[in-house]
Amino acid sequence: MKTVIISLGAIDDVKNFVNAVNKYEFDVDLVSGRYIVDAKSIMGIFSLDLSKPITVNIQSDDSGAFINEIKDYIVG
């Protein structure tokens, strides 16, 4: 499992992030506070507090291409 911190500041960011996640077979979870949602669910993402950074848990050891694709959203 790999973990990164992202920030999704605009509606287009969420849409592009979900499109990127859906290209991959492995599971990706977003964690914000005590809430965990499936990163492939646009409705789930909009239920989170997007004003704060979000933890991304990638359930794969081969996630380099995915991380490269979402690099614009990674903070820190």
d(CA 70, CA 8): 11
The model's confidence at residue 7, banded by pLDDT at 50, 70 and 90, is very high
Query: What pLDDT score does 50 carry?
Result: 95
Q: Is the pLDDT of residue 53 over 90?
A: yes
75 contacts 4 by C-beta, under 8 angstroms: no
Query: What pLDDT score does 23 carry?
Result: 97
d(CA 19, CA 17): 5
Q: Is the pLDDT of residue 76 over 80?
A: no
The string of pLDDT tens digits covering residues 29-51 is: 999 999 999 999 999 999 999 99
The string of pLDDT tens digits covering residues 9-20 is: 999 999 999 999
Identify the architecture of domain 2-73 in CATH: 2-Layer Sandwich (3.30)
Domain ranges for the chain, please list them.
2-73
Residue 55 dihedral angles phi and psi, to the nearest 5°: -85, 135
30 contacts 56 by C-beta, under 8 angstroms: yes
